[in-house]
Structure 1
Amino acid sequence: MTDFDAVYERRGTGSSKWSKYPTDILPMWVADMDFPAAPEILEAIRNRLEHPMLGYGVARDELRARIVEDMQSKYHWSITPEDIVFLPGVEPGFNMGLKAMLEPGDGLVVQTPVYRPILNAPSHWGLVRNDVPLRQTEHGYVMDVDPLAAALSQSRALLLCNPQNPTGKVFTKDELTEIATLCRDNDALIISDEIHCDLLFDGRHHIPIATLSEETANRTITLMAASKTFNIAGLKTAFAIIQNKSIRERFVLSKLGMVDSVNVLGLEATLAAYTHASGWKARMLSYIQANRDYLSQQVALRFPAIRLIKAEATFLAWLDCSELGLAGDPQAFFLEHGKVGFSAGSEFGAAYGDYVRVNFGCPRALLSEGLDRMERALGKR
């Protein structure tokens, strides 16, 4: 059984997270958890390696069937195996969708703050990015309908992130219905990044926007993966669910030599994750929810000037440091004076330079050390 408190040395393993900074920096930036993968996943990979051939991979029928069953059992969503397109990542997926379905000069709605690959995607294809900020309230982040409606009236598509990164917001059924209605009224495509859909807290349930109606499903590309939930992002495996055959065919044609076949070990790991690792997932979710609560309590106690709204999902916290009175970028401040590496708020939109994003998907000892380093940095002022 996985010990989520165990701290593993990841330097020297080719880890992006742990290679970014010098060894005296504690990295708490990229959305990569510091937990071992589920034993069932590791066993599946070892079993696959008993066969010495590692050629190009293709999803086996068992994996397609497993995803079909998963969507039905979790969301009462009836899809077919043919609706699934396997990909080497969610980011290639939404870029494929934009390339396939939009033309240079078209408008694309993005809700900010949002993680950098989504923020940057429109510029790859000559699209006009129409930002619609989420509004911070005492009880969470909310979506204002009028600005969204105005932006969609000038756009061909919405690139949705639900659960939302970095705020940890989970869109409610009413909000998703409003989004779907506005997209219908403006004949807008929906590309929905739902990679954190299994990482919800406090008994919340994820709602794929495509499940709201047949009409909504018919204009939606849904992107999912086991990678964030089961900490197997390095195996480069994800999938799109596209029920509209015409959109699916255009999507597949948009590979254009840029998106190749999926990692053969990643396909095996994904099958094992969805088939055998539910127990590991439940224990991990309990652990990171406790981490979220600990982080929230410690920030309120030790840093009352920092505003933190508890994440409803993900393993990421969005800290508003604007009241700390720092002279410059809080990410740079904590990096220099605390030797702790967060994600800079400016990466999530130009208006968010006073924020940092903190990854709390780690052993409690590392989270506690990160807080101690923040406290020491602020004490040096």
Structure 2
Amino acid sequence: MNIFQDIRNRKNTKSAKWDGLQEVFGTDDLIPLWVADMDFPAPDAVVTALKERAEHGIFGYTLVDEEVKQTITKWLKRRHKWLVPEQWLSFSPGVVTSIDMAIQALTSPGDEIIIQTPVYTPFFNSIRNHGRQIVENPLVLKDGRYEIDFENLDEKLKNAKALLFCSPHNPVGRVWTQEELEKVASLCQKHSVTLLTDEIHCDLIYEGSRHIPIASLPGGISKRTVTFMSPSKTFNLAGLQASFIVTENAAMKRKIDNQILIQGHKNLNTMGITAMQAAFEHGEEWLHELMNTITANRDYAINELESNLPGIHVIRPEGTYLLWVDCTTLGLESMDLKKFMIEKARVGLNAGTSYGSGGEPFMRINLACQRSTLQEGIERIINAVKESDLLS
């Protein structure tokens, strides 16, 4: 059986995506295509490793040992041509936790931190909650593809302490080219700005694009870069709470590691460590099949939406399993658009307003589900728009 088409009931499993519908949307009678986890089971090797570890029966403090670290560095070398010594690695429960701790360790209250909107929602709180100031360098939508406004970025970096960078970008799906990354790196060096780069979607890349860790570029940018990664998005392991940080600069790493200790995150979850190692050692074939499935879902969703709803424009992602849909032609205000998708279409989507300026007329759709689930959700959207006569 193809596990990517095998529907497993996630209700009553304490799933945020499925069991959190009532709390988030006010009803549980929706097709959930929102929060970024997958409806696919993890690789068999991960499940087997977890079962074997569970059968041992003792769950004391667990080390991230040399074997685990080597598994990570081999993955980065094999998948991204990035040579990372083990001593550059730090660990935390999740990427957002890591971002919070890096901001606390490497910036001060009142410092300006740049984000490129519309962007991953937690970025905003990671800056605000620690008394730092958000400065926006809005992305520019040009001919159906988002670009960085480098002139604006150059100006904003003059007074900034850090750039919180999303690569690949969530929600717009860009996989930044080497030329774009080199420009970002050059400007950060020019203004002596710390580069904090969230690369959690780095393994979810469609054919024709290639993810390049920005810290792997020559020219010295690695000395001022902190990279956040995790197997959680790649292998659907978010609930197991394991991520890693790559920092070449020894002084910066000491500050981050100290902040990890202060916050009480010295030890990772035993099962998270087990799953991370198994995924990176044995998950490559599974990942290949995953990308085939998501690519087919992407192409299906774009074709159905644009063929049946003239005027609706979908940004074709180069990476991630997320679809960014421009609903401007529906003529609805952002809150009314969100309400329409819930009450009329009966789908649970992420509203573009939560991603900051530029996201207002958009909705984000999660493609990482079985085709039958996606088909039901897309058909509901199409039928609701037609029945409401919004495109006439």
- Within the candidate set 292, 295, 306, 2:301 is matched to 295
2:167·2:176 contact (CA, 8 Å) conserved in 1? yes
Deviations 1:249-307 (A, max 9, x none): 00011122353521110111011111011111100011001111111111111122211
Secondary structure at the aligned position of 1:57 is classed as: coil
2:93·2:268 contact (CA, 8 Å) conserved in 1? yes
Per the alignment, residue 367 of structure 2 pairs with: 360
2:46·2:279 contact (CA, 8 Å) conserved in 1? yes
Per the alignment, residue 8 of structure 1 pairs with: 8
1:2·1:280 contact (CA, 8 Å) conserved in 2? no
- In the TM superposition, structure 1's runs of 4+ consecutive aligned residues that sit over 3 Å from their partners are none
Counterparts of residues 253-268 of structure 1 (less than 5 Å)? 253-255=258-260, 256-268=262-274
* 2: CA distance, partners of 1:258 / 1:129: 27
- Within the candidate set 212, 222, 229, 1:224 is matched to 229
Per the alignment, residue 44 of structure 1 pairs with: 49
Superposed CA RMSD: 1.3
Range 52-61 or range 203-212, more displaced: 52-61
* 1: CA distance, partners of 2:342 / 2:112: 37
Q: CA deviation at 1:23?
A: 3.4
Unpaired runs of 5+ residues, structure 2, are: 22-26
1:329·1:353 contact (CA, 8 Å) conserved in 2? no
Per the alignment, residue 249 of structure 1 pairs with: 254
1:329·1:354 contact (CA, 8 Å) conserved in 2? no
2:92·2:265 contact (CA, 8 Å) conserved in 1? yes
Per the alignment, residue 198 of structure 1 pairs with: 203
Count of equivalent residues: 381
Secondary structure at the aligned position of 2:203 is classed as: coil
* 2: CA distance, partners of 1:132 / 1:326: 26
Q: CA deviation at 1:2?
A: 4.5
1:309·1:318 contact (CA, 8 Å) conserved in 2? yes
Deviations 1:48-73 (A, max 9, x none): 11211112222121110111112222
Deviations 1:141-174 (A, max 9, x none): 1111101111111201100000000001011100
* 2: CA distance, partners of 1:102 / 1:203: 37
Per the alignment, residue 279 of structure 1 pairs with: 285
* 2: CA distance, partners of 1:264 / 1:69: 21
Distance 1:247 1:105, change over 3 A: same
- Taking structure 1 as the reference length, the TM-score comes to 0.97
1:334·1:340 contact (CA, 8 Å) conserved in 2? yes
1:166·1:317 contact (CA, 8 Å) conserved in 2? yes
- Within the candidate set 95, 100, 107, 1:90 is matched to 95
Amino acid at match of 1:330: L
Deviations 1:17-53 (A, max 9, x none): 0012233111111001110111111001011112111
Per the alignment, residue 370 of structure 1 pairs with: 377
Residue 209 (str. 1) matches residue 178 (str. 2) = no
1:88·1:260 contact (CA, 8 Å) conserved in 2? no
Residue 313 (str. 1) matches residue 315 (str. 2) = no
Amino acid at match of 1:293: D
Deviations 1:293-352 (A, max 9, x none): 111111111122211121000000111111112255322211011110100111000442
Amino acid at match of 1:363: Q
